[in-house]
Structure 1
Amino acid sequence: MKKITGLVITLAALFTLAACGGSSSSSTDSSSSAKTEDQLADIKKSGVLKVATSADYAPFEFHTMVDGKDKVVGADIDLVNEIAKQLGVKAEVSDMSFNTVLASLNQGKSDIAISAISATKERKEQFDFTDNYYNPPQVVIINKKNKDTFTSLDSLKDKQVGAQKGSIQEDIVKTQIKDAKLVSIEKVPNMVVEVNSGSLDAMVVEKTIAESYVQQNPDLMVANIDLEPSSDEAFAIALPKGSEELQTELNKIIKKLNDEGKIDEYVKTNHELAEKSAE
């Protein structure tokens, strides 16, 4: 479950405003309002839904070889492809660093952002979000050699615990493993390597993601350590502020797909694909 900090979002917003230097605040607000009001119509007219993601979070978004070509796939990608289909357009997915996924909305480079993003209070101040489409639990990954050592939150005191930079897992480490030393790392696979090598004692990640990496790395395991669930941890699609029409349309599609069990199916199918790709 991912969370860009309020500071990063604010800096991204300031950067966007600076790039528009010289415009009055009233004209900027008017332009932004007009853009978001026409967003759904513009997407349908263009025939393209521009999607921002960070494809390093299997089974939600990741790279794999399809017919000899590298391709971005995952549960989130299946979801946006179905959304695009129901809107009568084609999804155009752009892979970027997670730290820039939400900033791409402010910069007008994408229509929506989907990357296992949590709709936190801080983010809602800068962006609109759809209803939650998936709510997974969080777990701690450790090296099996530490199975009898890391058995509780207290046992991680003064230990180095990794979390993806800009993610909600950073807050989980700060608030639930308070005495641990947070190590923020940009890519989840890099954290896995460090836990494997012993340079990190543990890492916090979403359960489905953890299961994929543990399956691929026999020296790792999910620790028997409970983390408190949070409503902030559910996944939602991020939209530019003021995207009421697009938000309403996406919520209808998400509800329909959840009622049909499609999103759980996307997660299961891509979990299996991620495991197969790692063989």
Structure 2
Amino acid sequence: MNKKTLFVFLTMTIILGLILSACGTKPANTLDKIKEKGVIVMGTSADFPPYEFHKVEGNKDTIVGFDVDIANAIAKKLGVKLEIKDMDFKGLIPALQAGRIDMIVAGMTPTPERAKSVDFSDLYYNSQQVVVVKNDSPISKFDDLKGKTVAVQIGTTSEEAAKKIPDVNLKQLNRVGDAFMDLKNGRCDAIVLENTVANAYLKEYKDMKMVFMKEINTVDNGSAVAVAKGNKELVNIINEVIKELKASGEYDKLIDKWFKQ
């Protein structure tokens, strides 16, 4: 065997080995791995009440909310503990792809663009986009937003909805709470976000109100759990949990608990 033939043989052997290795490799966040470590890690952005938010009692800071209860039901179904990692919303999908979290439960809408990077469960909640302004604001219809400064959370469907406003000056922020502070202090004219989240914040910001505009609801809405690509078993388990919660009546109790207070 001459050197050229040997080189070709070794190259083909390496390539074949890589192909076989890839075919036998499971996705990074498999169901087996979660069960083995006894923990499922939920990634979220805990500034999104009533989905997820920080609740401080005494010296204890706990992340609670509708999504946390959904995640706890998933952990219970799997027989593992739930661990929560709080981060900026825009960092959730990269964290999932890197294997730092096992699932995203963060009021995330399963858009076609996101579905290229992650797999989604069935929807577990539906919502709609709204505009929040100060009580004395002249903004009452879609055309009034033209040329205004509108705050949104980066990476959300609210950001995509706001981009459709003519001549909008988009203020992209990492946290929803920052948007409300900017509106309060006159650093923006309006906020675009989900109605359920707006309702939660408006309990604190009494000088603001919600305005419904049909033109804002031009993007996909609804929330689903995201997992790393290829984790069909985990998606199936999550879908089972969603169905079981609804069939048992527990889902309605959670809706009453978090959205009808």
CA distance in 1, matches of 2:78, 2:85: 19
**Counterpart in 2 of 1:138?**
129
Q: Summarize deviations over 1:21-70 as a string: whole Å, max 9, x none.
A: xx98x849955973339811221222111111111101111101245300
Equivalent residue for 1:106? 97
Decide which of 224, 240, 246 is 1:236's aligned counterpart. Answer: 224
1:56 & 1:82 partners in 2: Cα distance? 21
TM-score of the aligned structures, taking structure 1 as reference length: 0.81
Structure number with greater CO (CA < 8 Å, separation at least 6) is 1
**Contact 1:74–1:266 (Cα < 8 Å) also in 2:** no
CA contact (8 A) 1:138 1:227 kept: no
Return the structure number with greater strand share: 2
Partner of 2:50: 59
154 and 28 in structure 1: CA distance in 2 versus 1, 3 angstrom threshold: farther
Alignment of 1:1-279 (within 5 A): 27=18, 30=21, 34-36=25-27, 39-66=30-57, 68-146=59-137, 149-175=138-164, 177-227=165-215, 229=217, 232-271=220-259
Query: Please, which runs of 5 or more residues in structure 2 have no aligned partner?
Result: 1-13
Instruction: Tell me if structure 2 keeps the 8 A contact 1:119–1:129.
Output: yes
Task: Return the alpha-carbon distance in structure 2 between the equivalents of residues 157 and 38 of structure 1.
Answer: 44
Alpha-carbon distance, 1:132 to partner: 0.8
Structure with greater helix percent: 1
| Deviates further, 184-193 or 254-263 | 254-263
Using a 3 Å threshold, how does the CA distance of structure 1 residues 211 and 32 change in structure 2: closer, same or farther?
A: farther
Q: Is the 8 A contact 1:133 1:263 kept in 2?
A: no
Quote the sequence identity (%): 34
Q: Is contact 1:139–1:227 with CA below 8 Å preserved after alignment?
A: no
Question: CA-atom RMSD, angstroms?
Answer: 2.6
Alpha-carbon distance between aligned partners in 2 of 1:57 and 1:261, rounded to the nearest angstrom: 24
Larger Rg computed on CA atoms: 2
User: What amino acid sits opposite 2:148 in the alignment?
Assistant: K
TM-score normalised per structure 2 = 0.86
Shift of 1:261: 4.3
How many residues are matched?
A: 248
